[in-house]
Homo-oligomer: A and B are copies of this chain.
Amino acid sequence: MLVRTDLALEMKEDIETNEPIKGVHVSTKNNGDTDILETRIVVENEEGAMNLGKPVGTYITLESEHLRERDESFHKPMSKVLSKVIKNFIGNKKKIMVAGLGNREVTPDALGPYVIDNLYVTRHLLKEGIIKHSVEISAIAPGVMAQTGMESLTVLQALTKEIKPQLLIVIDALAARQSDRLNKTIQLADTGISPGSGVGNHRNAINKDNIGIPVIAIGVPTVISVPTIVNDAMDAMAEAMGKYGPKNVLKKFNDEEKYRLACELVNPYFEKMFVTPKDIDEAVKRISYTISEAINEACLA
């Protein structure tokens, strides 16, 4: 299927039905007195995976209007909630590697590398006996294929074989379908990262199958793909033009066909482009800091 979003939450929303999706369990909760909405989507079996279009596993989405804002005080509660969720995934594992995917030089793709910049790594301190009794944290920003000539997956396979962590946490910038989810949503998944549109295409599935240890993926949507925007505009246009317009024509297409049409309508060069907000620099800096703090706290506190 053509990927329009990296968010399980949006894939669920795409399925226009009020009935439960077979093999998929969805629950939501509020977090205390914060405004943070937590949606938990569990894809229970292969039937669910087929229905949702996402591998079997657990997807947790944290959403907060405030994540997009500058005020540091709004980032603390998100960091706390995120830390708790990460801690649950970690359990009692004692050796963790964190990988910040993406291209440090392209602002909306720099989320992963920026998280690594603020992480508190401990592996060398433990090896040298400077600290004791801490969880072992190592970290890497593997770069992107255009810079290294290597898939991120390949770099991580090599390093995990050598360092032998019990858990890999990967951070990546994602693509969303809805513009108002950008920079205010954090998705955690225990399925790793499946190849998607994202910002770049620096990814071959980084998951337990390929790496050999559990892989937790933390992602934030920072871009939208161009065909997504055209698709939405097409819908709006059909709606607006009513009976004089293409509504009846478009009706004949299902979602995937419509998306394919959108892809064909735009210049093929656009496949290599992305859409991102003008204030993306601040957003990425702030959110990467929120994620670093959450990982630091989950691992070390």
Contact B281 A275 (CB under 8 A): no
Within 8 A of B (CB), among A216-261: 224, 226, 229-230, 232-234, 236-237, 240-241, 244-246, 249, 261
Which residues of B lie under 8 Å from residue A140 when comparing CB positions? 142-143, 148, 150, 155
- B138 and A148: CB pair below 8 A? yes
Nearest-Cβ distance from residue A27 to partner chain B, whole angstroms = 28
Chain B residues within an 8 Å CB radius of A157: 162
Q: Verify if A122 is at the interface (C-beta below 8 Å from B).
A: yes
Looking at the complex, which one of B179, B237, B279 makes contact with A265 (CB distance below 8 Å)?
B237
Asked whether B159 lies within 8 Å of A146 as measured between CB atoms, the reply is no
A232 & B266 in contact (Cβ 8 Å cutoff): yes
Tell me, yes or no, whether A1 is within 8 Å of chain B by CB: no
Query: Which residue of B is nearest A155, CB measured?
Result: B159
| Nearest B-chain residue to A160, judged by Cβ | B158
A105 shortest CB reach to chain B, Å: 4
With A124-B150, A138-B148, A249-B244: A273-B278 Cβ-Cβ less than 8 Å: yes
Q: A230-B229, A230-B233, A272-B279 are in contact. Are A121 and B146 (CB under 8 A)?
A: yes
CB within 8 Å of B: which of A124-162?
124-125, 136-143, 145-151, 154-155, 157-159, 161-162
- B139–A124 contact, CB under 8 A? no
Interface string of A101-123 (1 = CB under 8 A from B): 00101110000000011011111
A275 adjacent to B275 (CB under 8 Å): yes
A277 interface residue (CB < 8 Å to B): yes
CA distance A179 to B123 in the complex (A): 28
Residues of B within 8 A of A143 (CB): 140-141
Nearest chain B CB to A88's CB is how many angstroms away? 23
The answer to whether B106 touches A199, judged by C-beta atoms less than 8 angstroms apart, is no
Of B151, B229, B272, which one neighbours A226 at CB under 8 angstroms?
Answer: B229
Give the number of copies in the complex: 4
Contact A274-B276, Cβ < 8 Å, known A106-B281, A150-B138: yes
A267 contact set on B, CB distance < 8 A:
179-180, 232
Set of chain B residues within 8 Å of A72, measured between Cβ atoms: 293
Contacts of A106 in B (CB 8 A): 107, 278, 280-281
Q: What CA separation (Å) do A120 and B70 show in the bound complex?
A: 8
- The answer, yes or no, to whether A163 is at the interface (CB within 8 Å) is yes
Q: Which of B122, B161, B179 contacts A273 (CB 8 A)?
A: B179
- Residues of A in contact with B (beta carbons under 8 Å apart): 70, 72, 103, 105-107, 116-117, 119-125, 136-143, 145-151, 154-155, 157-159, 161-163, 179-180, 199-201, 224, 226, 229-230, 232-234, 236-237, 240-241, 244-246, 249, 261-262, 264-267, 269-270, 272-282, 293
A-B interface, 6 closest residue pairs, ranked by CB to CB distance from nearest: A123-B149, A105-B281, A158-B162, A121-B149, A138-B149, A230-B233
Q: Given known contacts A140-B155, A230-B233, A233-B262, what 14 new A-B pairs fall within 8 Å (CB)?
A: A103-B281, A123-B150, A124-B146, A124-B151, A138-B148, A138-B150, A140-B143, A157-B162, A158-B159, A232-B267, A236-B265, A236-B266, A237-B265, A245-B246
